[in-house]
Amino acid sequence: MVRSFTDLPLTPAMRDAIAGAGYSIPTPIQAQAIGSILEGRDLIGCAQTGTGKTAAFTIPIIELLAGAGSRLAAQGGSGPRALVLAPTRELALQIAEAFDTLGGGHGIRTVVLIGGEPMGPQLNALGKRPAVIVATPGRLFDHVERRTVSLGSLRIVVLDEADRMLDMGFAPQVERILRVTPLDRQTLCFSATMPLAVEKLVRQHLVRPMRVEVGVIAKPVAKVTQVLYRAETQGKTPLLLRLLHEERGRTLVFTRTKHRADRVARAVMAAGHRVTRLHADRSMSQRREALDGFRSGRYRVLIATDIAARGIDVPEITHVVNFDLPHTPEDYIHRIGRTARAEASGRASSFAAPEEGDQLRAIERHLGHPVPRAAGSLN
């Protein structure tokens, strides 16, 4: 039984880095996955967002890269040793930050290859012989096609948020990328849900994987208090402003469209709240500024579309608001998983207009129970 990081086969330097990063005890996914990854096993990690899975693979990868004579450090070739594929730019940046935080003292160089950034700086970074590549499938596929990156020296590949990656249409790029990596690589697949497409990917590309499941897959984090508000479309903005007035914590608001995100942000700003936006029409520098400002507390409210749902890892989000109900129950789970992270508690408020009845019924079928109604809310 792993109860602390001292129970895992980690070097003193890594334990110091873990403590410096603010980790005290391993989460269940970390406790179950780290040892197996260090042993070189392929692994399927089924875990919800907010369970600590990023550290579950960054810690052992850094250990394997830094260890003298380890299989990642010692085998031939001068190219990158580890590759992490992520579905969104924000998630890729978050993963790279984890590598820098935990592996900075080991001199492990990481490069981030994501869309929305010019190729030139990425080519320069690749020329510095990074040990780790963190990439979105589309941009890495571009580099592979242009032959500006070689993946022949990879020893370990991580597919993070695999379900979302396939949902976003990246299956052809992922398949192409995996075909140009060594057959004897170690492969790790992390996914909040295990639909047939992910199961097929696992069967094709993982060898006798260990399966680690944490919690009930694709069910809400237990400490999230869910509340449903019935509201006409035109009544949603006043309702949001009332909730923001009543609750003072850090709030993440999801809208279905970019246009609505902009419109809601203007109304929230006019009401005197510090607010920013995150969606695909914003430039990469604007998206970084929005996330950094939300993390630091410069902005109290972040309005986002689903494209950003998997990439946001901000501590102390106390309230998630579904201004519009998502298209799928899985997206509902991922949205509300942004709060109640790392054993904290949180609140998720959802606004349902009459025309969103189909989405609400699908969510409640998936949950197995009705979403609790707010006091005074009609059924």
Q: Tell me, what's the pLDDT at 103?
A: 87
pLDDT above 90 (res 248)? no
Express as a percent the part of the chain with pLDDT over 90: 62
CATH number belonging to the domain at 5-213, selected among 3.40.190.150, 1.10.10.1590, 3.40.50.300, 3.90.950.20: 3.40.50.300
Q: Report the range of poorest mean pLDDT among 26-30, 310-314, 366-370.
A: 310-314
- pLDDT tens for each residue of 87-135: 998 899 999 999 999 987 788 999 999 998 899 999 999 999 999 999 9
Token code pair at residue 297: 């507390």
Identical fold for domains 5-213 and 224-367, yes or no, is yes
Q: How high does pLDDT run on average in the chain?
A: 88
Q: What number is the average pLDDT over the span 316-345?
A: 82
pLDDT above 90 (res 328)? no
Q: What number is the average pLDDT over the span 192-216?
A: 87
Q: What number is the average pLDDT over the span 280-301?
A: 87
Please check whether residue 157 is in contact with residue 80, taking contact to mean a CB–CB distance below 8 angstroms.
no
Q: Tell me, what's the pLDDT at 69?
A: 47
- pLDDT tens for each residue of 5-52: 989 999 999 999 999 888 889 999 999 999 999 999 999 998 876 778
Q: Report the range of poorest mean pLDDT among 130-139, 227-236, 358-367.
A: 358-367
DSSP bridge partners of 143: none
Band of pLDDT at residue 315, cut at 50, 70 and 90: confident
Express as a percent the part of the chain with pLDDT over 70: 91
Q: Report residue 280: phi and psi, to 5°.
A: -70, -20
pLDDT above 50 (res 77)? yes
Q: Tell me, what's the pLDDT at 105?
A: 77
Q: Tell me, what's the pLDDT at 55?
A: 94
Q: What number is the average pLDDT over the span 334-338?
A: 82
Question: Residue 302: which of 284, 286, 320, 280 has the closest Cα?
Answer: 320
Band of pLDDT at residue 309, cut at 50, 70 and 90: low
Question: Residue 310: which of 85, 110, 25, 139 has the closest Cα?
Answer: 85
Band of pLDDT at residue 311, cut at 50, 70 and 90: low
Q: What number is the average pLDDT over the span 140-165?
A: 95
Band of pLDDT at residue 341, cut at 50, 70 and 90: low
Band of pLDDT at residue 237, cut at 50, 70 and 90: very high
What element of type H or E holds 364? helix 357-367
| Distance (Å, whole) CA 259 – CA 281 | 10
pLDDT above 80 (res 357)? yes
| Distance (Å, whole) CA 278 – CA 173 | 25
DSSP bridge partners of 188: 43, 158
Domain boundaries along the sequence of the chain:
5-213, 224-367
**Residue 157 neighbours by CB under 8 Å, 6+ apart:** 82, 83, 84, 85, 178, 181, 185, 186, 187, 188
CATH homologous superfamily, domain 224-367: P-loop containing nucleotide triphosphate hydrolases (3.40.50.300)
Higher pLDDT, 337 or 162: 162
Q: What number is the average pLDDT over the span 166-192?
A: 94
Q: Tell me, what's the pLDDT at 214?
A: 82
Q: Tell me, what's the pLDDT at 375?
A: 75
**Residue 289 neighbours by CB under 8 Å, 6+ apart:** 276
pLDDT above 90 (res 81)? yes
pLDDT above 50 (res 163)? yes
Q: Tell me, what's the pLDDT at 74?
A: 44
